[in-house]
Copies of this chain bind each other. A is one copy, B any other.
Amino acid sequence: MTNQKSTNENQTQENAWQIGTRTLPPPAGASDAMCTSIAETPQPDPAFMQIEPQSEAEWLAVIAQFDAGKVDAVQALSEQLSVSYEQKQIEGINIYHLTPAEVDPRHEDHLFVYVHGGAFVLNGGEAGLAEPILIAHRAKMRVLSIDYRMPPKYPTPAGRDDVVTVYQHLLKEQAAKSMALGGTSGGGNLVMATVQRLIELGLDVPGALYLGTPGTDMSKTGDSWYTNDGIDRLLATYDGFLEAASRLYAGGRDLKDPLVSPHYGKVEGFPPTFLVTGTRDMLLSNTARTHIKLRQAGVVADILVYDGTSHGDYIVVMDSPESYHAFAELNAFLLRYLE
């Protein structure tokens, strides 16, 4: 809900339950494709995420390790789905124009402005283009993906400022309500922070938002950080890498500062927002809480929760019914709200 007061903070340390061991079969409520993928995945190992780089050099090495192979995968996906992309600059910020083989006439005047995820440090450059390729292909619309500045060199609000700068530039030739702004995970965080900034600046907000399993609260507040610890096959755990990356992004700010966790900022005046998560998602609580907060502020907001899926599984298992359904729903939402 809207207020996190000291009562809750204190209770976090007391009254905790010790949850015993349990056996978790692959999710039979998911589609065959999703269930099979999960059944074939090694069990998430929280120890694997106990990475806390101590210097800029160590961070860059870890980032390179996580991002290895992604550009090749992106190029292959681009060919497979016939989505071409081109690198450009807007006011000194690196961006990519993505063009599908065919543009839906209903999207002729629309633009999807995409903000990639990756815990605020990963997926820079071409490595961040997998989901925007999927969106361009499935929604048959043009996408502009922003390669915003990231830590270790640039903590918040550098990335947000880049998104604002590009958006403001686009406004010169593209009506606000004809643009969608969206992204997954850390990208969802930046989308929310960007819209808060646009409202502060008195600028027109986009026609619709997409928050895919958004990292809108990087403090360890949402319940699913605990309940899905060791269960989310992508994130595995908050402790270690995710917390370290969040603190690096925060650059000394409190993790509940809206520039780090925009869930704590204002959402009045937000455009219609589409959210996606899963029952095994460590960001299930983030997504659900932000959805409720938007609804409480009178914002049109739709959430989809896919059974048995972890953080971003709708991208990971892109040939699953869940993935097709999520992007079809996103597209229907855009067609409904973009002008």
Binding site for B on A (CB under 8 A): 1-5, 7-9, 11-32, 34-36, 39-40, 43, 217, 221-224, 226-231, 279-280, 284-285, 288-289, 291-292, 295-296, 302-308, 321-322, 325, 329
Contacts and interface: CB of A to CB of B under 8 A. Distances in A.
Most buried by B among A23, A25, A223, A329: A223
Most buried by B among A11, A17, A295: A17
B16 A24 contact: yes
Given A1-B325, A7-B32, A15-B40, 7 more contacts: A14-B39, A19-B231, A20-B230, A24-B226, A30-B223, A227-B279, A303-B303
A32 B17 contact: no
A12 B25 contact: yes
Contacts of A279: 223-224, 227, 284-285, 288
- 10 nearest interchain CB pairs? A288-B305, A27-B223, A1-B31, A15-B39, A223-B308, A8-B28, A17-B43, A12-B25, A29-B222, A16-B25
A9 to B, nearest CB: 7
Given A288-B279, A288-B307, A29 B230 contact: no
Nearest to A44: B17
Nearest to A308: B223
A171 to B, nearest CB: 32
A8 to B, nearest CB: 4
A107 B304 CA distance: 30
Given A29-B221, A303-B305, A17 B7 contact: no
Nearest to A285: B307
A227 B13 CA distance: 23
A21 B19 contact: yes
B24 A21 contact: no
Nearest to A22: B19
A308 B322 contact: no
Contact of A15 (B20, B22, B25): B25
